[in-house]
Amino acid sequence: MKKIFDPATAIQDLKQFGEFGGVNPSITDSATFTFMSEEEMIKAFHGEAPGCFLYSRHWNPSNRYLSEAMAAMEGTELAWVTASGMAAITTTLLQLCNSGDHIITSVTTYGGTYAFMANYLKKFNIEVSFVNIDDIESIKRAIKPNTKVLYTETMTNPMLQISNIPELSKITKEHNITLVIDNTFTPMIFSPFKLGADIVVYSLTKFVNGKNDCVAGAICASEEFINSISNVNDGTAMLLGPVLDPLRSSSILKNMGTLHIRMQKHGENAMYLAKRFEQLGIKFVYPGLETHPHHKLMKEMMNEGFGFGGMIAIDVETAEKAAVFMEIMQDKGVGYHAVSLGYFKTLFSNSGKSTSSEVPEEIQKEMGLSPGLVRFSVGLDNDIERTCHLIEESLKESKLI
C-alpha cells in the first residue's frame, strides 16, 4: 500500500529547543509580554510585528510550539490550540459563517457538535442541513447558494462510518464551500488536509494527549485562516477567548512524541477484539475488517503503519442489556464505564444514552444508532487476550452469548 503521508516523522523533524537549550521547549507561564518600545506594541496590535507576543489570549510561545507540532502532523501551514475540542469546532464555524449562511453536516456526529449545530446556531440564523455523509447525492442536493461549510468527522461518532474526503473535497471545491473535518478518532491514521480538507479540527483531550488529564482542542489550517481567527479586531478565537493554558500545551506536546506508538497499540488491540467478536458471532462495528462497508475506502485513504484505530462498538440491542453488560465489565476490570476515548485504559459507554444523548431518539433511529450500542475505546492493554476473556465472561454473565 502506498504511503500517503508520515505524520510521525513530520513531528520528529521539528526542532523545538528550550530557551536554555533544554530538549523540551520552555514553558512560558505568562499572560502578558513586555515590549521594548511603544512603537513595537502599536505594531503588534495591528498585526505588523511578526515574532512578537502580545497577550496569551492571542498567542503564547508554549501554545505556538504545540500548534507547530499539530500543523506538522496534519501537513497544514499553521494551527491554533484551544481550551477544548468544542472550542475548536465552534470557533471554526463561527469564523466561517455569518447570519443567513448555511452548513451541511453529517447527522452521525459527536453529540455536542450535533447540539451546537441543531440548537445553538439558530440564534445566529445559521441554517444547518443534516445528511447521511455516505450518500454523496444527498450532499449535492443539500447545497444551496448560501452554503458555506461542509462538516464531517473522518470516522464518525459513534457509528464508525468513514467519510470519503477526496470525494467530498471535489464537491466543496466545485461550489466554493469550505470542507471542515474532525479527525479526533483517527490522528495519524488519516491526514484529512492531505486528502483535500480545508480545515482539520481536533479534541486533543482524546488520543493526541492520551492521558485523560486535560481538555484541549486544535484547529489546523492555512496561515491566513489562523491569522483571521486570532485577529485582535474580529478574530473569533481572540474575541471569544477559548485559549489553552500554556502548562497544558507543554504537557500535550510531550505526549505527541509517543502518539504513533500509542495509535499502533490501540489499533492492534482493537483488531484483536474485532476478530474475536467475529468468531463469537457478536454484532459489532470495526472498520479494520473487510466486513465493514467502508473498509476498502479506509485502506485507500489511510496512512500506512498506524493501524485501523482503537474504536470498536458492540450492539447488544437494548439500553437495559447494555447497562448490565457495562457494569459487569467494570466490576471484572475490563476498563472504566466512562465517556471520552484515547485513554491507556479501555473506556466504554452506551452512546445513545451518553455521548450521543443530545441527538433526539427519532434521529438516532433514522441514522441507525441502536439503543444497545456500546462504544469501546480500546486501551493499551499489554495482555489483550486477558481483556478479551474478561469481555467474553461479561457477555456470558449478561446472557448476551
Number of C-alpha atoms within 13 angstroms, CB side, residue 377?
Answer: 26
Contact 205, 85 (CB under 8 A): yes
Q: Look at residues 115, 88, 123, 127 and name the one whose alpha carbon lies nearest to residue 240.
A: 88
Q: 260-397, what's its fold?
A: Aspartate Aminotransferase, domain 1 (3.90.1150)
Task: Provide the residue-wise pLDDT of the chain in tens; the chain has 401 residues.
Answer: 455 799 999 999 999 998 899 999 999 999 999 999 999 999 998 888 888 999 999 999 999 999 999 999 999 999 999 999 999 999 999 999 999 999 999 999 999 999 999 999 999 999 999 999 999 999 999 999 999 999 999 999 999 999 999 999 999 999 999 999 999 999 999 999 999 999 999 999 999 999 999 999 999 999 999 999 999 999 999 999 999 999 999 999 999 999 999 999 999 999 999 999 999 999 999 999 999 999 999 999 999 999 999 999 999 999 999 999 999 999 999 999 999 999 999 999 999 999 899 999 999 998 899 999 999 999 999 999 999 999 999 999 999 99
Query: Count of residues for the chain?
Result: 401
Enter the C-alpha cell of residue 364: 438516532
Q: 7-256, what's its fold?
A: Aspartate Aminotransferase; domain 2 (3.40.640)
Q: Write down the domain spans for the chain.
A: 7-256, 260-397
Cβ atoms < 10 Å from Cβ of 128: 20
The whole-model pTM stands at: 0.96
Contact 373, 321 (CB under 8 A): no
